[in-house]
Chains A and B, each alone.
Chain A
Amino acid sequence: MVTTHDIPQHDIQSQDASEALAERVRRAEAEGTPLRIVGGDTKAFYGRRVEGEALSTREHRGITEYDPVELIVSVRTGTPLRELEAALAANGQMLPCEPPHFGDDATVGGMIATGLSGPRRPWAGSVRDFVLGTRIITRQGSEQRFGGQVMKNVAGYDLSRLMVGAQGTLGLITEVSMKVLPLPGASRSLHLDMPLARALDKLSEWGRQPLPITAAAWLDGALHLRLEGGPSSVAATAERLGGDALKPDFWEALREQRLAFFAKDDSRALWRLSLPHHTPLIELPGVNDPDVLYDWAGCQRWLRSDLDAEAIRQAAARAGGHATCLRGAGGAAVDEPFTPLPPVLAKYHRNLKAELDPQGIFNPGRLYAAF
């Protein structure tokens, strides 16, 4: 059995700051002071601006338990994401959801709070799919454990997965246990020239077959594919699909939004459209092929456009999805980045927030203005 002690300690600093964090929460609750929870401050653009006293999780860091044979790692949320990924890689394992970092300082907590996943998402699953348990400091300032450090656990409500993507509005997440998986035995990336419509059809067809595809993006007139799995099937599939070799670092550039498409000097707004599988091309006035980047086999589409938010949201909704605005025109902050919730759903969001954080001390207004 490999335990935490066998992991090289020089690159994993371990420090338990939970008592200090709890004290800050207790004080905020007593004084009714809103807290702005900050990890590496790399994903502040994803969500509304929070007015509050900064509360950093950075001092609360380190892997608390990692036994590679159990396929589970438990880690404090202030731990830099790259340190966690390096510790996993040293044992031939990975976070299958391939979370984006958006900066060197990205933390585990930011990954959980935003719930953002990378190119492997449609095939492997999202951040929440790999969360098994959490520790949360509640408004009373007590650290509580939900879920667990086992693969299957249905005791009580699934508050752990509820925290993923809640952007820290329901409590301060201090630790998370995640399922990890072995790194694939083989990986090949391909570049296949083909028009968009044909690429979308092909992806639907391949989706019904047991092929070792783990990433698929269409841009610049070509389908970009990644194959991962056993060496035999990867080699056979690469031969069958043809095309040219693609540098594997393409996927990191896509995930980290470093491709030219995402250029910050482009003054148009940046939108993320989340859509069902097999959604055809969405027609929007003034939007041409180069204005859209198709990731997740077409389920996640990045759009550069200055169209009215309502028009974009309606188009996404008609296709069965939703749209998020990450950057406003000219790089401006966005007042309402996330698709507004229907009234009944909004009511239960407010109820839940009121039960878990009645004074609104945890990241108030980060998701929606109402809570």
Chain B
Amino acid sequence: MNTHFDERLDGGQPGRDQSEVLADLQQALPGMTLLHREEDLRPFECDGLSAYRALPMLVALPETLEQVETLLKRCRALGVPVVTRGAGTGLSGGAMPLSHGVLLVLSRFNRILEIDPEARTARVQPGVRNLAISEAASPYGLYYAPDPSSQIACSIGGNVAENAGGVHCLKYGLTVHNVIKVEVLTIEGEHMTLGSDALDAPGFDLLALFTGSEGMLGVVTEITVKLLPKPETAKVLMASFDDIEKAGNAVGAIIAAGIIPGGLEMMDNLAIRAAEDFIGAGYPVEAEAILLCELDGVEADVDDDCQTVRRVLEKAGATDIQQARDEAERALFWAGRKNAFPAVGRMSPDYYCMDGTIPRRELARVLKGIGDLGEAYGLRVANVFHAGDGNMHPLILFDANQPGEFERAEELGGRILELCVEVGGTITGEHGVGREKIHQMCVQFSPGELTTFRAAKRAFDPDELLNPGKNIPTPARCSEFRLTKSAGDAPAPTRAPESQG
């Protein structure tokens, strides 16, 4: 069923006239860039989930904290919702605009304010790119650990909003484990510091609550992250398997041997072929699955661990094991994996990336389930998998120009996520709920649990002006979804999406 914002189902304020809001904001903020013409708004109509689009009423591009503060105060006074956006690389429609809302773009807050090598921290503005932090820390032998695939482009503010992950989470954690302090502006325009420069802070752990809250509790205006010393060495092993279940079992066997790899990734045959065709990473195109296992740390330990892992992989039935001979080959092995999404994109006019997490022991069952569902929907699915932490990225291949095919892909995606919940997992490991998975939240959480989420939201934003309609569904949204499902997945009789007007 339709996931476009619908006031009737998603709640919110009565829409205000664009010219009225524009005049108000122009008067209050004469120095701030405020886009309002359709051709200027168009580039902001979607984030990384391009299938979900809506033209924002206005786009604000502030450059100072005072401007953000005034903007929030005016929007609150006018009852106009605010959607905050960083680099717009998110994959769940978390920064999808509202046609009756202001899109607050923080891309001009792009300065690294301080690198403190002694304290091993970096203080940055939210628009700073993820990779830029590691680049700035590099001369001190330090880096910022979380590395989402989009790290060249994605902003740290967006990483905080989504609690972004990457391929090294099992050992180094998610964003929530690597941010120590954030400065926040509330919807009332108040300044608040969450966390501290020390290892803890008095009171509730609001830093944890805000991390991954998808811009719905406040606007993060400054971030202090923890930096880690670069590992002395990193080595990567690539193992091929003729059976995906054997590859899954090998992952468990590595961990059972007491080893926590820096990265542990799996790809299935379709993903291997796509990546090899695109990058030429030297992947075995006949293999049913490959495992990439990176071991990092102190040289002597890494050598010992490589030996152990090699033995484990042999015992688990790997048909071939290669160790990258040098840094160049290691980078090449990873390039195939990191470019798996665009590589799969080349095989098909469009693809749709999912993001469920499951207990690893359920891998074989879930992969089989995905295969069966793919067949039932007549769509191919390639699988890329953060195997170490159970986070799957099934990529559904489709052609948006074929009538009904996107809707089928979307529905298949929803079914895959419901399968993840069924085996004890979750609908999103690192991409966030956003607008995309709003219906599956009704599957994963009970009405009572959703009520508690809404209570937490009310504590910070009682008028529901910050990114309404994302992350936490309303009871009306869930009832409608359940009705639709029980009606045999027939299209819901909702009115046409207002955003397309």
Q: Does A70 contact B (CB under 8 A)?
A: yes
Cβ contacts A138-170/B at 8 Å (1 or 0 each): 101010111011111111111101101110001
A126–B299 Cα gap in the complex (Å)? Answer: 27
- Chain B residues within an 8 Å CB radius of A340: 202
Bound CA–CA A345/B201 (angstroms): 12
Enumerate chain A residues within 8 angstroms of B162, measured Cβ to Cβ. 154
Q: If the complex has contacts A157-B213, A208-B141, A344-B192, are A151 and B390 also in contact, measured as CB distance less than 8 A?
A: yes
A367, B458: Cβ atoms closer than 8 Å? no
Out of B298, B361, B457, name the residue touching A157 (CB < 8 Å).
B457
| Contacts A144-B448, A232-B300 given; does A338 touch B202 at CB 8 Å | yes
Q: Would you list 24 pairs from A and B whose C-beta atoms are within 8 A, ordered by A residue?
A: A68-B256, A69-B361, A70-B361, A121-B199, A125-B177, A126-B199, A129-B176, A151-B429, A152-B165, A155-B444, A156-B445, A156-B453, A157-B472, A162-B205, A166-B205, A182-B258, A208-B120, A210-B298, A233-B301, A274-B198, A274-B200, A300-B199, A321-B197, A356-B455
A156 to B206 CA separation, bound complex (whole angstroms)? 15
* Least distance between A329 CB and chain B CB atoms (Å): 21
Query: Which residues from chain B contact A268 at a C-beta distance below 8 Å?
Result: none
Across the interface, name the chain B residue whose C-beta is closest to A165.
B205
Asked whether any CB of chain B lies closer than 8 Å to the CB of A204, the reply is yes
- B457 to chain A: closest CB distance in Å? 7
| 0/1 string, A116-131, CB within 8 A of B gives 1 | 0000011001101100
* Given A152-B174, A348-B192: A229 and B301 interface contact (C-beta under 8 Å): yes
- Asked if B383 lies at the interface with its beta carbon under 8 angstroms from chain A, I say no
- A274 CA to B196 CA, complexed, in Å: 10
Which one of A50-58, A253-261, A275-283 is at the B interface? A275-283
Q: How far is the CA of A161 from the CA of B176 in the complex (A)?
A: 10
* A317 vs B393: C-alpha distance when bound (angstroms): 44
CB-contacts of A163-211 with B (<8 A): 164-166, 170, 181-183, 185, 204, 207-211
* Bitwise interface map of A from 224 to 258 toward B, beta carbon under 8 Å scored 1, else 0: 00000111110011000000000000000000000
Q: Assess whether A152 is in contact with B197, with CB atoms less than 8 Å apart.
A: no
Would B197 and A276 count as touching, CB distance under 8 A? yes
Number of residues of chain B lying within 8 A (CB) of chain A: 96
Closest to B209 in A: A162
Considering the chains assembled together, what is the distance between the CA atoms of A229 and B202 in angstroms? 32
Contact with A along B183-204 (1 / 0, CB 8 A): 0001000111110111111111
Q: Which residue of A lies closest to B458 (CB)?
A: A355
Q: Is the interface of A mostly helix, strand, loop or mixed?
A: loop
Question: In the assembly, what is the distance between CA of A339 and CA of B391, in Å?
Answer: 39
B300 near A148 with CB under 8 A, answer no
- Closest Cβ of chain B to A187, distance in Å, is 13
> A210 touches which one: B203, B230, B255 (CB < 8 A)?
B230
Query: When the two chains form their complex, are residues A155 and B426 in contact, meaning their CB atoms are under 8 A apart?
Result: yes
The residue on A at minimum CB distance from B232 is A210
Considering the complex, give the chain A residue whose CB is closest to the CB of B357: A150
**For A354, what are the chain B residues with a Cβ–Cβ distance below 8 Å?**
459
Q: Are A299 and B192 interface neighbours, CB within 8 A?
A: no
> Does B282 sit at the interface, judged by CB under 8 A?
no
Bound complex: CA A277 to CA B301 (Å): 27
Which A residues are CB-close (under 8 A) to B116? 278
Q: Does A26 contact B (CB under 8 A)?
A: no
Collect the chain B residues with CB atoms within 8 Å of residue A211's CB: 298
Contacts of A153 in B (CB 8 A): 357, 426, 428-429
Measured between beta carbons, the chain A residues less than 8 angstroms from B17 are none
A352 close to chain B: CB less than 8 A = yes
Q: Which residues of A contact B50 (CB under 8 A)?
A: none
Inter-chain contacts of A159 with B (CB < 8 A): 209, 452-453, 456
- Determine if A276 and B198 form an interchain contact, defined as CB atoms under 8 angstroms apart: yes
Instruction: Give Cα A237–Cα B298 distance, bound, in whole angstroms.
Output: 10
A68→B217 CA distance, assembly (Å): 36
**B448 touching A142 by the CB < 8 A rule?**
yes
Name the one of A152, A299, A349 contacting B204, with C-beta atoms under 8 angstroms: A349
Residue B437, interface by CB 8 Å: yes
Q: Mark A33-52, 1 if CB is under 8 A from B, else 0.
A: 00000000000000000000
B444-465 at interface with A (beta carbon < 8 Å): 444-446, 448-449, 452-453, 455-460
Q: Shortest CB–CB separation between residue B262 and chain A, in angstroms?
A: 12
The 6 closest A-B pairs by CB, nearest first: A230-B301, A232-B300, A161-B208, A151-B389, A152-B429, A233-B298
Other-chain contact of A152, B191, B299, B389 (Cβ < 8 Å): B389
B58 within 8 A of A: no
Taking A208-B229, A278-B119, A351-B458 as given, write out 17 further A-B residue pairs in contact, using a Cβ cutoff of 8 Å, ordered by the A residue number: A69-B360, A72-B359, A125-B173, A145-B449, A148-B357, A151-B388, A155-B427, A155-B445, A156-B471, A157-B213, A162-B204, A182-B259, A210-B229, A229-B301, A233-B301, A338-B203, A355-B458
Which listed residue, A1, A185, A296, A348, touches B460 by the CB 8 Å rule? A348
Q: Is the pair B208, A162 in contact by a Cβ cutoff of 8 Å?
A: yes
A207 touches B120 (CB 8 A): yes
**B424 interface residue (CB < 8 Å to A):** yes
Does residue B140 face the partner (Cβ distance < 8 Å to A)? yes
Bound complex: CA A150 to CA B390 (Å): 7
| B 165-188 contacts with A by CB, 8 A | 165, 169-170, 173-174, 176-177, 186
B273 to chain A, nearest CB (A): 27
- Bound-complex Cα distance A237 to B458 (A): 52
CA distance A122 to B199 in the complex (A): 7
Q: Is there a chain A Cβ closer than 8 Å to B20's Cβ?
A: no
CB neighbours (8 Å) of A154 from chain B are: 162-163, 174, 212, 426, 428-433
A90 touches B (CB below 8 Å): no
Beta-carbon nearest neighbor of B213 in chain A: A157
Q: A103 an interface residue at 8 Å Cβ cutoff? A: no
* Cα separation A366 to B399 with both chains bound (whole Å): 58
Give, as a whole number of angstroms, the nearest-CB distance from A117 to chain B. Answer: 9
- The answer on a CB contact under 8 Å between B455 and A355 is yes
B222 within 8 A of A: no
A276 to B196, CA, bound (A): 8
The reply to whether the CB of B305 lies closer than 8 angstroms to some CB of chain A is yes
Q: Name B450's closest neighbour in chain A (CB-CB).
A: A156
Query: Would A157 and B212 count as touching, CB distance under 8 A?
Result: yes
Cβ–Cβ < 8 Å partners of B371 in chain A: none
The answer to whether the Cβ of A333 comes within 8 Å of any Cβ in the partner chain is no
Query: In the complex, which residues of chain B have a beta carbon less than 8 angstroms from the beta carbon of A349?
Result: 203-204
Give the shortest distance, in Å, between A141 (CB) and chain B (any CB). 10
- Chain B 414-432 near chain A by CB (<8 Å), digits 1 or 0: 0000000000111111111
Task: State in angstroms the CA–CA spacing of A23 and B224 once bound together.
Answer: 43
Contact B140 A158 (CB under 8 A): no
- Given contacts A67-B361, A146-B449, A348-B192, A320 and B197 within 8 Å (CB-CB): yes
Tell me if B358 is interfacial: C-beta within 8 Å of chain A: yes
Residues of chain B in range 295-344 having any CB-CB distance to chain A below 8 Å: 297-301, 303-305
Whether A155 pairs with B176 at a CB distance below 8 angstroms is no
Q: Which of A68, A92, A230 contacts B304 (CB 8 A)?
A: A230
Rounded to whole Å, the gap between the CB of B444 and the closest CB of chain A is 6
User: Contact: B361 with A352, CB < 8 Å?
Assistant: no
Once the chains bind, are B205 and A164 in contact (CB under 8 Å)? yes
Chain B residues in 8 Å Cβ range of A341: 202-203
Interface status of A71 (Cβ within 8 A of chain B):
yes
Least CB distance, B293 to chain A, in whole angstroms: 15
